[in-house]
């Protein structure tokens, strides 16, 4: 799923292409994509783009007359910038937004259609789509701490809850917790004041760093290879590889089709966290420490 750094990279590229340009029309191929009926896509024709912003993991395109296009890419949605009037791809294409200088194509890989398009009028209706997560990059430590402790959950779940923090998904939650040197399964209510500050500083740094990386990689081009994995990531997607800090093999927990990566040397004091699927199979053979893992 594109997270805050990827959404900001998309927005950076969109601003230079569509702000102050007219939207000629909208072509929607997927019936499941459009989640609103009034205003309709036809109401957008001829409207000029006034700005592009991010709302959580959503892309918001602001038009004249307080009209807003709200795109949520979900897991597999992606955007492409093509020549004016470009055709919507037959297999993965969901919609096309035709501007006077080019066409923005929305695609979604796979057979499940989760991406969404809302068209709303006015800031009040736009705000209703916002899950309400805190924008950590501009938040104070006090506000961050209050959000972090709102409900009792593991740190991984808390960081990825869109109602708690804005724009953070599984990939960057892994990177944040690695930088903070804290276990993904630690309960948020068991943190010291110093540990809360560690997560706060780590979250801000990771999001700032990766936003800059994603935008720099794209340059004047349009983002093309938007994935949850990157060779410069420390732990996410690095199962079995050596930790860049301590050299221990990166481990993972898989639950509900989602993967959490962590370094046992840096984050869990050498303890191997139980993976529900593998530990159920291996039972007593499941390694519980780095020493047992190395022995196997």
Tell me, what's the pLDDT at 4? Answer: 97
**In angstroms, how far is CA 260 from the centroid of its own chain?**
15
Which phi and psi angles does 195 have, rounded to 5°? Answer: -70, -35
Mean predicted confidence (pLDDT) in 164-180: 97
| Residue 212 reports pLDDT greater than 90 | yes
Mean predicted confidence (pLDDT) in 35-42: 96
Which phi and psi angles does 105 have, rounded to 5°? Answer: -105, 130
Q: Are residues 115 and 218 in the same domain?
A: no
| 241 close to 231: Cβ distance less than 8 angstroms | no
Least confident of 94-108, 141-155, 181-195, 266-280: 266-280
* Tokens found for residue 250: 């990166």
Note down the domain range covering 211.
136-295
Q: Are residues 288 and 147 in the same domain?
A: yes
Q: Are residues 290 and 201 in the same domain?
A: yes
Per-residue confidence at 111, pLDDT binned at 50, 70, 90? Answer: confident
Q: Up-side HSE of residue 40: CA atoms within 13 Å toward CB?
A: 1
Q: Are residues 161 and 277 in the same domain?
A: yes
Q: Are residues 116 and 255 in the same domain?
A: no
For position 56, which CATH number holds? 3.20.190.10
Per-residue confidence at 280, pLDDT binned at 50, 70, 90? Answer: very low
Q: Which residues pair with 187 in a beta bridge?
A: 154
Q: Are residues 93 and 70 in the same domain?
A: yes
**Residue for token pair 């869109």:** 162
* Between 105 and 294, residue with greater pLDDT: 105
| Residue 207 reports pLDDT greater than 60 | yes
| 119 close to 43: Cβ distance less than 8 angstroms | yes
Mean predicted confidence (pLDDT) in 273-296: 52
Q: Are strands 77-82 and 67-72 parallel, antiparallel or unpaired?
A: unpaired
Q: Are residues 55 and 168 in the same domain?
A: no
Least confident of 152-161, 228-237, 282-291: 282-291
Tell me, what's the pLDDT at 295? Answer: 47
Q: Are residues 59 and 156 in the same domain?
A: no
Other CB atoms within 10 A of residue 147 CB: 20
Q: Average model confidence (pLDDT) for the chain?
A: 92
- CA dist 184 and 182 (Å) reads 7
Q: Are residues 232 and 171 in the same domain?
A: yes
For position 171, which CATH number holds? 1.10.8.50
Tell me, what's the pLDDT at 274? Answer: 80
Please return the burial class of 77, using the count of CB atoms within 10 Å of its CB with bins 0-12, 13-18 and 19+: buried
Which of 84, 104, 127 is the last residue before a domain boundary?
Answer: 127
Predicted TM-score (pTM) of the model is 0.91
| Residue 284 reports pLDDT greater than 80 | no
Q: Are residues 75 and 210 in the same domain?
A: no
Tell me, what's the pLDDT at 281? Answer: 37
Which of 108, 127, 146 is the last residue before a domain boundary?
Answer: 127
Tell me, what's the pLDDT at 279? Answer: 44
* Tokens found for residue 22: 């007219």
Tell me, what's the pLDDT at 228? Answer: 85
Per-residue confidence at 282, pLDDT binned at 50, 70, 90? Answer: very low
- CA dist 103 and 227 (Å) reads 22
Per-residue confidence at 26, pLDDT binned at 50, 70, 90? Answer: very high
Per-residue confidence at 286, pLDDT binned at 50, 70, 90? Answer: very low
Tell me, what's the pLDDT at 112? Answer: 87
* Between 281 and 238, residue with greater pLDDT: 238
> What single string gives the DSSP state of each residue in the chain?
---HHHHHHHHHHHHHHHTT-BEEEEEE--TTTB---SS-GGGGTTPBEEEEEEETTEEEEEEGGGEEEEEE-TTTEEEEEESTTPPPPTTTEEEEEEETTEEEEEEE-SS----EEEEEESHHHHHTT----B-GGG--HHHHHHHHTSS--BHHHHHH-TTTBSS--HHHHHHHHHHHT--TTSBGGG--HHHHHHHHHHHHHHHHHHHHHHHHHHTTS------S--TT-SSTT-TTSBPTTT-PBPEEEEETTEEEEE-HHHHSTTBPPPPHHHHHHHGGGS--BHHHHHH-
Tell me, what's the pLDDT at 289? Answer: 55
Burial 31-68 (b: 16+ CB within 10 A, else e): eebbebeebebeebeebbbeebebbbbbbbbbbeeebb
Q: Are residues 143 and 282 in the same domain?
A: yes
Tell me the pLDDT tens digit for each residue of 230-279: 999 999 999 999 999 999 999 999 876 789 999 999 999 999 998 755 44
Which of 85, 105, 127 is the last residue before a domain boundary?
Answer: 127
Tell me, what's the pLDDT at 285? Answer: 44
Q: Are residues 225 and 121 in the same domain?
A: no
| Residue 204 reports pLDDT greater than 60 | yes
The number of domains in the chain is 2
Give the Å distances, CA to CA, from 8 to 38, 52, 80, 211.
Answer: 28, 10, 15, 7
């Amino acid at each position: 799923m594109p997270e805050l750094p990827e959404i900001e990279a998309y927005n950076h590229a969109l601003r230079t292409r569509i702000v102050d340009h007219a939207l000629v029309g909208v072509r929607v191929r997927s019936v499941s994509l459009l989640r609103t009926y009034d205003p309709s896509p036809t109401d957008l024709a001829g409207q000029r783009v006034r700005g592009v912003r991010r709302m959580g993991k959503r892309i918001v395109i602001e038009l004249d007359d307080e009209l807003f296009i709200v795109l949520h890419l979900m897991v597999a949605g992606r955007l492409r910038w093509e020549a004016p009037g470009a055709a919507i791809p037959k297999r993965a294409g969901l919609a096309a937004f035709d501007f006077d200088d080019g066409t923005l194509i929305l695609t979604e890989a796979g057979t499940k259609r989760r991406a969404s398009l809302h068209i709303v009028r006015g800031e009040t209706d736009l705000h209703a789509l916002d899950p309400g997560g805190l924008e950590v990059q501009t938040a104070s430590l006090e506000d961050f701490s209050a959000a972090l402790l709102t409900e009792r959950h593991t740190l991984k779940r808390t960081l990825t809850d869109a109602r708690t923090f804005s724009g953070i998904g599984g990939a960057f939650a892994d990177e944040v917790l690695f930088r903070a040197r804290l276990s993904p399964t630690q309960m948020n209510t068991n943190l010291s004041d110093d540990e809360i500050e560690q997560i706060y500083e780590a979250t801000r740094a990771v999001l700032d760093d990766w936003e800059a990386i994603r935008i720099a990689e794209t340059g004047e081009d349009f983002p093309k290879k938007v994935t949850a994995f990157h060779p410069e990531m420390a732990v996410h997607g690095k199962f079995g590889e050596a930790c860049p800090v301590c050299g221990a093999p990166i481990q993972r927990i898989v639950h509900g089709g989602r993967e959490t990566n962590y370094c046992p040397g840096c984050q869990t004091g050498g303890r191997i966290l139980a993976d529900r699927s593998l530990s159920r199979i291996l039972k007593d053979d499941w390694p519980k420490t780095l020493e047992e893992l190395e022995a196997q």
